[in-house]
Amino acid sequence: SGDDVFFEERAHLFAGARGDFAVLHGVNPHPMQAEFGVIQPEQLDEVINSEDVSQPSLLCIENTHNGSGGSAWTPAEVEVISAAARAHGLKIHMDGARLFNAVVAHGVDAKDYTRHVDSVMFCVSKGLSAPVGSLLCGSRAFIDDSDAMRKRMGGGMRQAGMIAAAGIFALQKMVDRLAEDHENARLLCSGLEAIEGIKVQRPPTPTNFAMVNAEELGWHSELLIEKWKTCGILANPRPPAGARLVVHRHITHDDVTYVVDATRRLVERG
């Protein structure tokens, strides 16, 4: 209780919370703004050395970074920020909901990629196509403590083996094909940004996202979404003038071509 926890300000663990950290765990969240979600050592140093921090405990990093268009941390960036965190006595947790997109983007081994962090969570339902499920990984002592906390919070589940079977299949069969999603996302981004008035966010290491902005056209997010909907294209708004498109195994090359062509026609019509 009273521990200080550090995040990038758009990280889902922080931005998607509803006061969870304070209510459930009694800890103080400290958000930082970082380009493409990659926290720099000097940023962490500055926040930890401020008067607002008394019990620095944990650094959470998100990889890939949802709010930055699916940007993947490089292995070197993970190593550098982990070393900076350890210099302050912090533990490091990686929120890797789409970890394997980052693994495939960099062509690295998942175990080696995460060896500098203390714990990592990843989903088998995002990108890997399992119907449901996430895994928490760490040391045996950490997992034992986490299991006890899960039970304390009422997190039991019966017949979970059926879910686990789908997750095992996802890990065995669905990882390598993520490269196909990345290529389709690249084609989607290239096609959309070739349309006058459409901007697409380009992170240093892109994965399967297309973060689209139509501000130059004078279209706010809701208008963009409505225009796409008339063409049978459904997307999530990213106010004030953007939208998020995520490519997965059910999105084909033909689908990407359709979205680009339909968007071009919508822009031409005004």
For residue range 3-45, list pLDDT tens digits in order.
999 999 999 988 887 677 777 778 899 999 999 999 999 999 9
Q: Which residue has the tokens 């930082």?
A: 32
Nearest to 182 by CA among 97, 244, 246, 255: 246
CA dihedral 232, 237, 242, 248 (to 10 degrees): -60
For residue range 160-210, list pLDDT tens digits in order.
888 999 999 999 999 999 999 999 999 999 999 999 999 999 999 999 999
Strands 91-95 and 119-123 turn out to be parallel
Question: If you average pLDDT over residues 240-255, what whole number do you get?
Answer: 95
- Give the sheet arrangement for strand 242-246, strand by strand: 199-200, 209-213, 242-246, 236-238
CATH architecture assignment, domain 178-269 = Alpha-Beta Complex (3.90)
Listed by start position, the domains of the chain span 4-173, 178-269
Proportion of the chain above pLDDT 70, given as a percent: 99
* pLDDT band for position 89 (cuts 50, 70, 90): very high
Looking at this protein, which amino acid is placed at residue 226? E
Question: If you average pLDDT over residues 95-124, what whole number do you get?
Answer: 98
pTM of the model: 0.93
For residue range 214-236, list pLDDT tens digits in order.
999 999 999 999 999 999 999 98
Question: If you average pLDDT over residues 99-125, what whole number do you get?
Answer: 98
Q: How high does pLDDT run on average in the chain?
A: 95
For residues 123 and 127, give the distance between their C-alpha atoms in angstroms, rounded to a whole number: 8
Confidence at residue 155, expressed as pLDDT on a 0 to 100 scale: 83
User: Which long-range contacts link 148-155 to residues 24+ away (Cβ below 8 Å)?
Assistant: 153/24
For residue range 40-72, list pLDDT tens digits in order.
999 999 999 998 899 999 999 999 999 999 999
Asked if the model's pLDDT at residue 159 lies above 90, the reply is: no
In CATH terms, are 4-173 and 178-269 the same topology? no
* Ramachandran quadrant class, 8 (left: phi over 0; alpha: psi -120 to 50; beta: rest): beta
Proportion of the chain above pLDDT 90, given as a percent: 86
CATH number of the domain at 4-173, out of 3.40.50.300, 3.40.640.10, 3.30.450.20, 3.30.950.10? 3.40.640.10
